[in-house]
Amino acid sequence: QLSKRLARVGDFVPDKSRLADIGSDHAYLPVALVLQNKLDFAVAGEVVEGPYEAARKQVRKNGLEEQIVVRLADGLSAIEQSDAINAVTICGMGGTLIRDILEAGWNNQRLQGNERLILQPNIGEKNLRNWLTDHGYTIIEEDILEENTKIYEIIVALRQTNRVAYSEKECLFGPILLERRPAAFNKKWQSELEQRERIVAQLTRAQNTQEERINQIEKEIAQIKEVLSNES
């Protein structure tokens, strides 16, 4: 039984995909999707020995060694050309780490550019969307959901010929979430607003000289207020 978060990620994986799940931990996602007959083949990549062993165990327990290959590797280096991967999931990490994994895979050509990326950053979504827009990706779907008092975002991206360049505001809020404004989106940004206001108050009280940082946070505060006041 997948968590609501991973089940939603799975919904964005097209039928008959050849999936690479990077940072797979227990390989829960590829195992569940193969059991649902959604995948032809999967690679579960892990860089840490413990989770790698856990993934191998989970695959063996379900008798799926034919369909799921578990590899101990850093990021997208888990992918081999002969895998013919066409979908990549990277979930449950910070957006900056996901970005760094994509950047490394881009540079060593493990990422071909024709895979569908299904990304679930826990924080730092803006850095990730900046990377996607800089590398010619279009965000084709986004979602936001709450589970166990935490709010998670999911970003689905694909490189298309008619590329879209996203604005700073779209990178912060998500171009699709900004249009749709689901309830969890408003809840998240209300809390992000309060958090930023607390930080600015602290920095100001401490007569902190990080003027540039304060200016950046204040700019975001204004953007968040604007977005929340347009809530319909």
Q: Considering the complex, state which of residue 143 and residue 170 has its C-beta at the smaller distance from ligand SAM.
A: 143
In whole angstroms, the minimum distance from the beta carbon of 124 to ligand SAM comes to: 14
In whole angstroms, the minimum distance from the beta carbon of 62 to ligand SAM comes to: 17
Q: Considering the complex, state which of residue 7 and residue 47 has its C-beta at the smaller distance from ligand SAM.
A: 47
Q: Which amino acid is residue 33, in one-letter code?
A: L
Cα separation, 199 vs 216, whole angstroms = 12
Burial of 103 (0-12, 13-18, 19+ CB in 10 A): middle
| Contact of 94 with 122, CB cutoff 8 Å | yes
Q: Considering the complex, state which of residue 30 and residue 174 has its C-beta at the smaller distance from ligand SAM.
A: 30
3-class SS at 12?
coil
| Contact of 62 with 35, CB cutoff 8 Å | yes
The H-assigned helical ranges of the chain are 4-11, 28-35, 49-61, 95-107, 125-134, 168-173, 175-180, 183-205, 211-229
In whole angstroms, the minimum distance from the beta carbon of 85 to ligand SAM comes to: 15
Q: Considering the complex, state which of residue 34 and residue 227 has its C-beta at the smaller distance from ligand SAM.
A: 34
The H-assigned helical ranges of 12-164 are 28-35, 49-61, 95-107, 125-134
Matching residue, tokens 């957006």:
95
In whole angstroms, the minimum distance from the beta carbon of 84 to ligand SAM comes to: 20
Q: Considering the complex, state which of residue 51 and residue 95 has its C-beta at the smaller distance from ligand SAM.
A: 51
In whole angstroms, the minimum distance from the beta carbon of 22 to ligand SAM comes to: 5
Q: Considering the complex, state which of residue 108 and residue 167 has its C-beta at the smaller distance from ligand SAM.
A: 108
In whole angstroms, the minimum distance from the beta carbon of 180 to ligand SAM comes to: 23
Binding site for ligand SAM (CB under 6 A): 6, 22-25, 45-48, 51, 74-75, 91-93, 101
